[in-house]
Structure 1
């Protein structure tokens, strides 16, 4: 099915991940037309157009959408603008893939849900589409019954991240645990280790959680550590899984997946064996989220995760931003 695509936001993140993913998708799906890109900075918009093969560049969102009438739109904007822009696009009736986090607060998510009505949309939680994490999810589901999944641990470390609000990055780990556990959070207790030498408000964030399924979870976010890594561990009855998640610039890239049963190593797979391309935007799930979104549109089914599915992840991230001590569903 031919698809005509437009994108909004031509900044650093869009250029590093979304633009390459869209160009790769168009190369693999020749009927796809990259109609137009839009950014308030005309230089950025034109460079993005030329680099990734879009036909036209705009600086006015409404003009682009009125002129081009795309079949789908992607939005890669600062989180402070996401709600405002997403509401406009959805109210105008354009199917939308929006970059995470989908707003800063539950109130913003609810505004977008109301604006969407029945318009197809997907939140770009790219860990859900990273080939290694998707394979981990398949392995867990194949070997561990839901009632026998016991514990999920997720660790995220970064280097030199001194912003006082790390929640817009931590939300990836928060959502990844929900995805791997196949369950929402029932309750969470938060602890904050202040790091005054790193800057005002900088802190390590630790979460102890119980899932609605009865499994437990622990999450650790360390923004000023000595290495960039994301690692997940899943324990079920007789089974343990280790995942070295290959996000961009990660020490572990292209990652590794291990499965042990009753103390015996059953599988040891390199991340390069689980993806059909060595490109970081493939390993990181950016290409996969576009495939999932556009396949869903073509098949006439709702894309996933939508805003309602993403709502709890935003609620937990909001707790982190506000330094709350407890969350209960």
Structure 2
């Protein structure tokens, strides 16, 4: 029975707790940690946990914890992760992996030295529409991908950035490009790999209580010449999110849709119904996952601990996602085209360097310690259901 600790008991911790409770025969939550013990106590009561509560995670380092979920603000992900890895615990850390590539490298190095599992939360990979879209892409039936479109559309009210650590480059590390589109960017990299270069723009159009962007657009170029675009936003009403891949033979997407064209003698399109039906049959025959979201990723981490198998999303994957996000920030801040990969002597490699380079759209004004309502609402999912 693996002993689990939850480090940070804010809103996202509920997804972790609920998921661990689905595997009661494999693990047990024995500790909750939060600077505000009343938040941890509320979670303990809500879920009926038999867990100790501490306000300093270091109290748990010598307690034989097998696995920790780190659900804290991004600026502390690296030191907490490294401390637990050195203490012999496996680590599942919430997105984004860290606030700099330098920190990611230190986390990966600590995982390598300790021999423990390090996994970065990217729960949207573990959703049926995304897994099935990946399978269809890998089948090659759509042909070479010519254009990819990623819409990470969210909406957040002005007061969202009143929370003390949000909306600052130092504490949150960025706006929706880092903290919302991270899941979409992870999935895009998983499906198509890293682009060779990009150009990006960002702005703050609706949140004058935040230093960071609330909207960014990036155009990507891949080594084979194909193009992609990523829009990251917290100003889009309706929060419709999607992946669209335009292949040489067909268009496929999440929410799921397949459309195929073939050429008439004059070059104009006509529908290729036969290919559409072939791809649809392939998609329909793909099995559903036994779990989805956080539960599926936690199951994947537990299996890795139990069997020694690799996790689907490791530290290297988490770093690749942050590298693309950092490259977007670099291009949008400097106005330059950015080539990937970024080098260790790049000013954006460190958190301090990034903070010196990025613009402050506004200076943060209001600051509250906690919101009374910690409920998280999410946008439209990939199967079109809210």
Q: Structures share a fold, TM > 0.5?
A: yes
Query: Quick one: structure 1 residues 161 and 169, their matched pair in 2 at CA, closer, same or farther if it must change by over 3 Å?
Result: farther
Q: In proportion to residue count, which structure has more strand?
A: 1
Aligned length: 300
Q: Which residue of 1 aligns with 2:154?
A: 158
Distance 1:161 1:101 in 2: 21
Q: Which residue of 2 aligns with 1:239?
A: 250
TM-score norm. by structure 1 comes to 0.81
Distance 1:194 1:141 in 2: 37
Structure 1 residue corresponding to 2:131, chosen from 128, 134, 139 = 134
TM-score norm. by structure 2 comes to 0.70
Instruction: Please state whether the residue corresponding to 1:12 is helix, strand or coil.
Output: coil
- List gaps (5 residues or longer) in structure 1: 245-256
Question: 1:241-320 residue pairs with structure 2 within 5 A?
Answer: 241-244=252-255, 257-262=256-261, 263=271, 264=273, 265-266=276-277, 267=280, 274=288, 282=292, 285-320=293-328
- Given that 1:121 and 1:302 are in contact with CA atoms closer than 8 Å, whether structure 2 keeps it comes out as no
Q: Which residue of 1 aligns with 2:179?
A: 168
Q: 2:190 aligned with 1:179, yes or no?
A: yes
Q: Which residue of 2 aligns with 1:217?
A: 228
Shift of 1:58: 2.1
Off by >6 Å, runs of 4+ in structure 1: none
Shift of 1:179: 1.5
Shift of 1:234: 1.3
- Given that 2:245 and 2:253 are in contact with CA atoms closer than 8 Å, whether structure 1 keeps it comes out as yes
Q: Which residue of 2 aligns with 1:18?
A: 16
Instruction: Please state whether the residue corresponding to 1:185 is helix, strand or coil.
Output: coil
- List gaps (5 residues or longer) in structure 2: 162-166, 168-174, 262-270, 341-386
Instruction: Please state whether the residue corresponding to 1:225 is helix, strand or coil.
Output: coil
Shift of 1:53: 4.2
Query: Quick one: structure 1 residues 225 and 211, their matched pair in 2 at CA, closer, same or farther if it must change by over 3 Å?
Result: same
Structure 1 residue corresponding to 2:66, chosen from 71, 81, 88 = 71
